[in-house]
Amino acid sequence: MTFAVHAIRFASRPGVRGQHFLGHDARSHEPHPTAYSVWLATDGEHTVLVDAGIDPDRPAPIDGLVFHGSPVDGLAALGVDPAQVGHVVLTHLHYDHTGTVAAFPAARFVVQRAELAYWTGPVAARIRREQWLVSRADVEHLTGRARDRLDLVDGSVEVVPGLEVHHVGGHTAGMQVVRVRTAAGPVVLASDAAHFAENLDADHPPPILHSVPDVHAAFDRLRELAGPDGIVVPGHDPAVAGGNTVVRLA
């Protein structure tokens, strides 16, 4: 059994290169837009959502967001009701990847144990520059009302046949990526392990990160997981969907 994979772009934001790449240089002032997406993988038996995006009805801690709809609207465009989603893989627990977790009443939530431990532990609470990145309401939903549906995993795990998660770290302590078996070959959903194709092409990390060495190691792991016949899908690159809000990747 192979999966079909769709990207659902729910928001966009203008920006500059200095916001998206580590270190300032002569090009840091240049415009550099970003896209916000979730991903849907279906095989006729399993319906898996990768990340939960942002709820446009809740305040977001960043200016300039232009919403094209909610992630749930994108699912509806593909004929998927939130109650049909069996798994929601949360690549990490930043606010723009967890915002609609409460909309999926039957889904099991797949999170790396290291990710939850970091954001609920004593160290993250002391790092002020990170506080805006996490929605405490979303984390509390996962550990409260949805705790019986929270699957904490370690490392590499097959979620359902043909769809795996792999811990890579770097961007966050428990950053994980998703490899999906499709008829066209492996599709590796990088999420924020590589925001843009340029991160990989130029070996250039993003500025929001947990460990610089692990970011570079994650770039290598993404290529390894894709292999010679697969593709790596960056997490925030507008080129992935072009001018579309929903696009089939494989």
Domain count, the chain: 1
CATH number for the domain that contains residue 69: 3.60.15.10
Q: What tens digit of pLDDT does each residue of 67-86 get?
A: 999 999 999 999 999 999 99
Torsional class of 247: left (φ above 0), alpha (ψ -120 to 50), beta (otherwise)? beta
Mean pLDDT over the full length of the chain: 97
Classified as helix, coil or strand, 81 is coil
Tens digits of per-residue pLDDT, 145-203? 999 999 999 999 999 999 999 999 999 999 999 999 999 999 999 999 999 999 999 99
Residue 245 lies in a domain: no
| pLDDT for 227 beyond 90 | yes
3 state SS of 37: strand
Tell me, yes or no, if the pTM score tops 0.95: yes
Q: Which domain holds residue 177?
A: 4-240
User: Domain for residue 250, yes or no?
Assistant: no
For residue range 29-70, list pLDDT tens digits in order: 999 999 999 999 999 999 999 999 999 999 999 999 999 999
Sign of CA dihedral 13, 165, 95, 20: negative
Does a structural domain hold residue 171?
yes
End-to-end CA distance of the chain: 14
Decide: residue 16, CB within 10 A, 0-12 exposed, 13-18 middle, 19+ buried: middle
Alpha helices in the chain (DSSP H): 17-20, 71-77, 113-120, 136-143, 197-201, 212-226
Tokens representing residue 171 in the block: 């961007």
Residue 135 banded pLDDT, cuts 50, 70, 90? very high
pLDDT digits (tens, 9 = 90+) for 102-115: 999 999 999 999 99
Say if residue 1's pLDDT is above 90. Answer: no
pLDDT at residue 243 in the model: 85
Q: Is 122 a domain residue?
A: yes
Cβ distance 194 to 234 under 8 Å? yes
* Predicted pLDDT of residue 25: 87
